[in-house]
Structure 1
Amino acid sequence: MHIKKTIVNRKFGIVDIIILLAIASILYLIISSGSLSERSGDTLAISTNISDLPGYVLKSVGRMTAAYILSFIFTIIYGYTAAHNKNAEKVMIPLLDILQSLPVLSFLPAVVLGLIKLFPHSNFGLELSCIILIFTGQAWNMTFSFYHSIKSIPKDFNYAARIFGLNKWQNFKKLQMPVSVIGLVFNSIMSWAGGWFFLMVCEMFTLRGKDFRLPGIGSFLQIAANEQNYRALMWGIAALVFVIVLMYVLIWRPITVWSDKFKMELTQSGEEQHSFVLTFFRRSVIVEFFIDKILKVVFEKVNTAIDQFFIKYYRKPKSRNKVGNGIGKWIFRIIICAIIVYCTANAVLLLKNLSMYELLEVVPAAVYTFLRVISAQIIALMWTVPLGVVIGMNKKAANILQPVIQVVASIPATALFPVILIFFVNKLGGLNIASIVLMLMGTQWYILFNVIAGASAIPEDLKEASTIYGIRGWKKWKTLIIPSIFPYLVTGMVTAAGGCWNASIVSEYVNFGGKVLTTKGLGSLISTATERGNYPMLLLGTIVMCTFVVCINNIVWKRLYALSDDKFKIEL
């Protein structure tokens, strides 16, 4: 029996004209934004002129895109290595937890000063610094998601891959990457939200008393807030919301719909998600030509080259040189130990400059921040889990609520914080409570989107089985929902906790209306130390934060991950 393939001969039409006009508009904005000042560092004045907003937005989106590409590459390499190397996993996952909890400002001095010295006569060093700092707000949750998706692959799937003789590249391409798509998509949305969150810090900051600025929507909002220019602030927020909505419609919604086909299930859901943009692009001759004649050709060549590489080098019997391998491992260990000793010695020398008062100040500050982190986590769990399950398991609810949630989550809390402060300063507990609100606004989405991803990934046949057997209410939560979403929930809680620690630098130390508002905590201590160039205090604050994170990781998250891996893995 021959199946006749239907070929659709598309013609150049209105769809392609719209796409060409859109490309032309983007190119025009790129060219026109080049006219904005490119002077470096503290000599650059950020305009609050509304006419400069499109160029500023485009520059910020460009930095975010570069940081996201870097984050995605890091995610694949780091997550894959941690998932497949047990020895490396013991170090890499706790290290990842520490890295995602470190405030952006902890990376700031080394990154900025180092890159500015490398590129002293141009703005490139500062631009690269900004991209790397945004990367530190984007990469970690994606990496956790990818790592845990690989670890959660059913044993039968891995066994089947071995039976079919798939090499590492084929296994990655046909099994590991498809299984990870849903989690990566939702965490990519959160990564962009995380990037927007820290954009104001990354594009405009003070270091050693020097004011560093880059033209962008983040610096625009910061200047408008400092000058109490509410008109410019509202226009900036409106522009940011417009970009976020546009990105959702043009990028995230189509990708979310596309990712639905990677769900692990034996029966297909009767309800499917739709995206008019995805349908729109599928009707385009230009898009079809780009995919068929460029993307597919490039991918096939890359795929063939990688396949041949693995066939050539990984299917040959390897000669085991135990002596050589042993020497190599010892050399590597010696190098690592030498680096650790060198860094420790320099850290001790730096910390000697601190007074006893400064040393005693850090621990209470860390306790205050820890209590705020716990409070934000508890509040977030109370509403994100039930709502995430509803959105993930009900396509009708998802079609209505998911667009709203994704847009709202992408609006950085730091942009809205000046408005929030108006209500909280001198009222409702002041910055002490406002800081918890900002932590919550910036990190609750990590839990929500991971729960949505987990609920969306529940196989349709399991849902049907629960309906057939009349499993409802708490029993359904206990037997189906919680076990299914638990791995995703743990990932969401880990990244949310790290986000809370990270957010402390902007929630406990606020520059508003020309005044600096602070509340006692590790975040305000680190922010103050950064602005004053007090590197010993910055180092001490970072070390104490790392200590808290490591302790929590060993006491809580490590055990929850083990529980997730042992008991809450879907086996088909």
Structure 2
Amino acid sequence: MTPFTNPIRGLSSAPTERSQASRRSRLVSSVLVAIGVLAFFGALGYLLPALGAPIGPQGIPEHISTDAKYLPYYAMRSVLRMFLALFVSLVFSYIYGLAAARSKRARAILMPLLDILQSVPILGFLSATISIWLVLFPGSIMGVEAASIFAIFTSQAWNMTFSFYGSLLNEPTELDEAARSLRLTRWQRFWKLDVPYSMIPMLWNCMMSVGGGWFFLTASEMISVNNRTMALPGIGSYVEEAAGQKELGKVGLAIVTMVVVVLLIDFLLWKPLTAWAEKFRMADSESTEPKRSIVLTVLRLSGISDLLGRIGRPISGFLDRLTRPLGVTGGHWSTGQYRRRTLFSNGLYAVVLGLLGAWGLFKLYQLVVPALGFSEVGHVFVLGFLTMLRVTLLIIVSSAIWVPIGAMIGLNPKLSRILQPVVQICASFPANFIFPFVTMWFLAWHIDINWGSILLMALGTQWYILFNVIAGASAIPDDLREMSRSLRQPAWQRWKTLILPGVFNSWCTGGITASGGAWNASIVSEVVSYAKHTLTATGVGSYVAEATAVGDTPRIIAGVAVMSVFVVALNKVCWSPIQALAQRRYAIT
């Protein structure tokens, strides 16, 4: 007869086995995370000493080696620059966007200034700042590294800032009232409301910013200003050198390396972050098909989040106490008694701004007009108009193509898991890597570069629209989707009443940043070359590129100023009314 204890032992064995399997999973996950952390710090320890090398043949080589064995090292150097610039861009976006959203007076200055900044090409920033960085880090490659990181920053920060600013303006009323009722400090509100509510669109814009940084990688690693070229070890400078030597096979190897790098970044970083950010999506019910990530699962099993929480909670509590004297949500920044605005103070404010603007215009006149003459300035405006036509056509066509595709990806988690790596490769891939092949194609098929440059600009800027629309569609609450399905709305009605209104705000942000990015991209898209063949489009982008190459400061200033005028005018006449309509009628509140 079977002993009575056997069935009890048999019943209890399954939980024991599951418990042992769970312990094994946690152990394996902890080991993998420990290996990953050690590998990360080991890579930093390997790369950082090279940043302090002296300027010279070892520091900044006259010619980057095109030996394929250096590609992994060059890729690591480029990735390090990219993410240092991304970190700076993130900090800048939070500070700048918060100041613009919380203060109407600051907004009146900061938002037009942001329009100008996003229109200034990276070559304009480089020509103005390279001397400053070299002075700050004399005799060291760190000066050129800082200039390169700053150039990448200028291609990343603006769309992230617009995204965060738009999220702050569209925060739901009930969440704002809850923050006020709980008397959260400004620091607490920032971390408990502002950052979480903006997380999904900010994350997608971070991905797009990395893609924008890759697009300008060659220009930021092979710096040519004032008839001087300074090349930094990196995959962008590798491609430029290989293309100059007609080694298309090595350009192909660099392209393969870039695809591998993009896939690794997507697997190790973006997929875990997008899956983790799902908890910040506004909904009363859980998503029917949540996003998953192997890396995120391993991190959760390893217990590293608990460790970071134990370290971070005391720091968070200390910062909460430290920032409480600055005021609570709904209060005013000044610690004294709040005084209402008066006609005198507003008038004085306007006079100061007017004087500063007049002084700036006078200095601009002194730098440009005596050196170039009014006829040359008029010619630059004509070139700016031609580039504006290209940018407008690009935005219209890109919106017609990518709005429906982005909405479908954002609304379907399964489709998003499948297509996200593809989208990441397309957006993060430096389109200018294939410019040598495109130049050969244009020459063989006799394609006019004045039209072909639109395609080249689109390769680097259309993704702003796609990524923002994906983020907007992902943020549509599940409750509204369920209601649409319950009402059995036909597809056309669902698009008209839910999907297009739901993504309209995000499309507006994507359109603004795509427009500014297209102006910036015109610098590298209106002049393309391969070996001895150079194709130049008629436009202000090629004008600035040629002036920068020879160090013609008055022409650089004139080209950048005209770009800024066109971008600010377009934003005021076109994008500002559209953005106001989006916030008034289509914000989810």
* TM-score after normalising by structure 1: 0.91
| Shift in CA distance, 24/53, structure 1 to aligned 2, threshold 3 Å | farther
Residue in 2 that maps onto 1:263: 281
Q: 1:25: how far off?
A: 4.2
Count of aligned positions: 565
One of 55, 59, 65 as aligned partner of 1:39: 55
Residue in 1 that maps onto 2:14: none
Larger displacement relative to structure 2 (529-538 or 15-24)? 15-24
Q: 1:298: how far off?
A: 3.8
One of 415, 418, 422 as aligned partner of 2:433: 415
Matches within 5 A, 1:161-240: 161-240=179-258
Three-state SS of the structure 2 residue aligned to 1:510 is strand
Residue in 2 that maps onto 1:464: 482
Q: Indicate whether 1:494 and 2:508 are aligned.
A: no
Q: 1:221: how far off?
A: 1.3
| Shift in CA distance, 332/475, structure 1 to aligned 2, threshold 3 Å | closer
Q: 1:171: how far off?
A: 2.2
Larger displacement relative to structure 2 (85-94 or 128-137)? 85-94
| Shift in CA distance, 316/519, structure 1 to aligned 2, threshold 3 Å | closer
Larger displacement relative to structure 2 (18-27 or 194-203)? 18-27
| Shift in CA distance, 109/541, structure 1 to aligned 2, threshold 3 Å | same
| Shift in CA distance, 378/321, structure 1 to aligned 2, threshold 3 Å | closer
| Shift in CA distance, 214/340, structure 1 to aligned 2, threshold 3 Å | farther
Residue in 2 that maps onto 1:404: 422
Q: 1:29: how far off?
A: 4.3
- The one-letter code of the counterpart of 2:337 is R
In 2: Cα distance, 1:179 partner to 1:299 partner: 19
Answer yes or no: is the 8 Å Cα contact 1:186–1:453 preserved in 2.
yes
In 1: Cα distance, 2:426 partner to 2:465 partner: 14
Three-state SS of the structure 1 residue aligned to 2:274 is helix
Higher alpha-carbon Rg: 2
Larger displacement relative to structure 2 (533-542 or 500-509)? 533-542
Residue in 1 that maps onto 2:540: 522
- The one-letter code of the counterpart of 1:379 is V
Larger displacement relative to structure 2 (22-31 or 200-209)? 22-31
Residue in 2 that maps onto 1:305: 322
In 2: Cα distance, 1:367 partner to 1:276 partner: 49
| Shift in CA distance, 336/58, structure 1 to aligned 2, threshold 3 Å | farther
Larger displacement relative to structure 2 (73-82 or 312-321)? 312-321
Matches within 5 A, 1:346-365: 346-351=363-368, 352-355=370-373, 357-365=375-383
Answer yes or no: is the 8 Å Cα contact 2:391–2:518 preserved in 1.
yes
Three-state SS of the structure 1 residue aligned to 2:336 is coil
One of 367, 380, 383 as aligned partner of 2:398: 380
In 2: Cα distance, 1:60 partner to 1:70 partner: 16
In 1: Cα distance, 2:535 partner to 2:371 partner: 27
One of 22, 27, 50 as aligned partner of 1:13: 27
Q: For residues 153-195 of structure 1, give each alpha carbon's deviation from its aligned partner in whole angstroms, at most 9, with x where no partner exists.
A: 1222222322332332222222222110011100000011111
In 2: Cα distance, 1:175 partner to 1:340 partner: 36
- The one-letter code of the counterpart of 1:39 is I
| Shift in CA distance, 533/480, structure 1 to aligned 2, threshold 3 Å | same
Q: 1:283: how far off?
A: 2.2
In 2: Cα distance, 1:334 partner to 1:556 partner: 27
Q: For residues 269-296 of structure 1, give each alpha carbon's deviation from its aligned partner in whole angstroms, at most 9, with x where no partner exists.
A: 21111101111122225x3564244344
Residue in 2 that maps onto 1:3: none
Matches within 5 A, 1:28-427: 28-33=42-47, 34=49, 38-39=54-55, 44-284=62-302, 287-288=304-305, 290-307=307-324, 310=327, 318-320=335-337, 340=357, 342-351=359-368, 352-355=370-373, 357-427=375-445
Three-state SS of the structure 2 residue aligned to 1:353 is helix
- The one-letter code of the counterpart of 1:49 is D
Answer yes or no: is the 8 Å Cα contact 1:44–1:214 preserved in 2.
no
Answer yes or no: is the 8 Å Cα contact 2:435–2:529 preserved in 1.
no
One of 527, 546, 558 as aligned partner of 1:540: 558
- The one-letter code of the counterpart of 2:110 is M
| Shift in CA distance, 297/247, structure 1 to aligned 2, threshold 3 Å | farther
In 2: Cα distance, 1:312 partner to 1:382 partner: 41
| Shift in CA distance, 120/173, structure 1 to aligned 2, threshold 3 Å | closer
In 1: Cα distance, 2:329 partner to 2:396 partner: 52
In 2: Cα distance, 1:428 partner to 1:384 partner: 29
Answer yes or no: is the 8 Å Cα contact 1:10–1:284 preserved in 2.
no
In 1: Cα distance, 2:68 partner to 2:46 partner: 15
Question: What is the aligned-residue RMSD (CA, Å)?
Answer: 3.0
| Shift in CA distance, 114/266, structure 1 to aligned 2, threshold 3 Å | same
| Shift in CA distance, 420/363, structure 1 to aligned 2, threshold 3 Å | same
Q: 1:530: how far off?
A: 0.5
Which blocks of at least 5 consecutive residues in structure 2 are unaligned?
1-18
| Shift in CA distance, 231/162, structure 1 to aligned 2, threshold 3 Å | same
In 2: Cα distance, 1:385 partner to 1:274 partner: 25
Larger displacement relative to structure 2 (241-250 or 153-162)? 153-162
Three-state SS of the structure 1 residue aligned to 2:372 is coil
Answer yes or no: is the 8 Å Cα contact 2:464–2:510 preserved in 1.
yes
| Shift in CA distance, 42/510, structure 1 to aligned 2, threshold 3 Å | farther
In 2: Cα distance, 1:406 partner to 1:179 partner: 23
Answer yes or no: is the 8 Å Cα contact 1:377–1:496 preserved in 2.
yes
Answer yes or no: is the 8 Å Cα contact 1:32–1:55 preserved in 2.
no
Q: 1:312: how far off?
A: 13
| Shift in CA distance, 301/435, structure 1 to aligned 2, threshold 3 Å | same
Percent identical pairs in the alignment equals 37
- The one-letter code of the counterpart of 1:319 is G
Three-state SS of the structure 2 residue aligned to 1:190 is helix
Q: 1:128: how far off?
A: 1.1
Q: 1:23: how far off?
A: 4.3
| Shift in CA distance, 399/213, structure 1 to aligned 2, threshold 3 Å | same
| Shift in CA distance, 357/315, structure 1 to aligned 2, threshold 3 Å | closer
Q: 1:318: how far off?
A: 4.3
Larger displacement relative to structure 2 (69-78 or 115-124)? 115-124
| Shift in CA distance, 358/512, structure 1 to aligned 2, threshold 3 Å | farther
| Shift in CA distance, 386/142, structure 1 to aligned 2, threshold 3 Å | same
Answer yes or no: is the 8 Å Cα contact 2:54–2:139 preserved in 1.
no
* TM-score after normalising by structure 2: 0.88
In 2: Cα distance, 1:231 partner to 1:105 partner: 29
In 2: Cα distance, 1:44 partner to 1:332 partner: 51
Q: 1:70: how far off?
A: 0.9
Answer yes or no: is the 8 Å Cα contact 1:227–1:514 preserved in 2.
no
In 2: Cα distance, 1:336 partner to 1:114 partner: 27
Q: Indicate whether 1:485 and 2:508 are aligned.
A: no
Answer yes or no: is the 8 Å Cα contact 2:29–2:298 preserved in 1.
yes
- The one-letter code of the counterpart of 2:557 is L
In 1: Cα distance, 2:176 partner to 2:338 partner: 29
Q: For residues 191-239 of structure 1, give each alpha carbon's deviation from its aligned partner in whole angstroms, at most 9, with x where no partner exists.
A: 1111111111011121111112211111111111222211221121211
In 2: Cα distance, 1:527 partner to 1:46 partner: 22
| Shift in CA distance, 111/337, structure 1 to aligned 2, threshold 3 Å | farther
